[in-house]
């Protein structure tokens, strides 16, 4: 179910925290769904911005099975990106231990065959994502 979020904070998060260089015009339309399941992981957040950008925020509690989860989430995100269609897909893993998750996540991400340059991985702390969680 969509929920209201401050559009200025969403824009700031995407441009400043994620480093996206999207033009301001795309931020006029923001769809945000929280408490959804992505690849069997509950309590995720999905953002679709200006029909150009798809973002999944997924909280990671443990690095157990992280590699398989990332491969599955990336696959699901790419399928959704291509079916909507939007231009880019960004997966944001939200972690307490950013260093441990980052190392494991990047290994899994780098192992995915046929990734294109329109798929991005970010590992952030809860504090960095608190406005959207």
Per-residue pLDDT of the chain (133 residues; tens, 9 = 90+): 344 578 888 999 999 999 998 888 999 899 989 888 998 888 899 999 998 999 999 998 888 889 999 999 999 999 999 999 899 999 999 999 999 999 999 999 999 988 999 999 999 999 998 877 6
pTM of the model: 0.93
Q: Tell me what pLDDT residue 1 has.
A: 36
Do 95 and 58 form a contact (C-beta atoms < 8 A)?
A: no
Tell me whether residue 105 is in a domain: yes
Tell me whether residue 23 is in a domain: yes
Tell me whether residue 2 is in a domain: no
Q: Tell me what pLDDT residue 132 has.
A: 74
What's the number of domains the chain is made of? 1
Name the CA dihedral angle for 66, 68, 72, 75, rounded to a multiple of 10 degrees: 100
Do 64 and 96 form a contact (C-beta atoms < 8 A)?
A: no
Distance set, CA 29 to CA 23, 77, 129 (Å): 12, 20, 20
Tell me whether residue 39 is in a domain: yes
Length, in residues, of the chain: 133
Tell me whether residue 91 is in a domain: yes
Tell me whether residue 43 is in a domain: yes
Q: Which range marks the domain in which residue 48 is found?
A: 7-129
Tell me whether residue 31 is in a domain: yes
Q: Tell me what pLDDT residue 133 has.
A: 63
Tell me whether residue 1 is in a domain: no
Q: Tell me what pLDDT residue 130 has.
A: 82
């Amino acid at each position: 179910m969509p929920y209201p979020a401050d559009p200025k904070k969403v824009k700031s998060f995407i441009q400043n925290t994620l480093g996206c260089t999207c033009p301001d015009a795309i931020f006029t339309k923001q769809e945000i769904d929280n408490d959804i399941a992505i690849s069997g992981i509950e309590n995720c957040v999905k953002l679709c911005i200006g029909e150009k950008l798809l973002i999944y925020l997924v909280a990671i509690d443990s690095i157990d099975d992280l590699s398989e989860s990332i491969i599955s989430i990336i696959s699901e995100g790419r399928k959704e990106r291509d079916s909507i269609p939007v231009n880019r897909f960004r997966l944001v893993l939200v972690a307490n231990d950013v260093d441990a998750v980052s190392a494991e996540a990047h290994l899994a991400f780098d192992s995915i065959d046929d990734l294109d340059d329109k798929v991005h991985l970010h590992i952030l702390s809860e504090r960095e994502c608190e406005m959207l969680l």
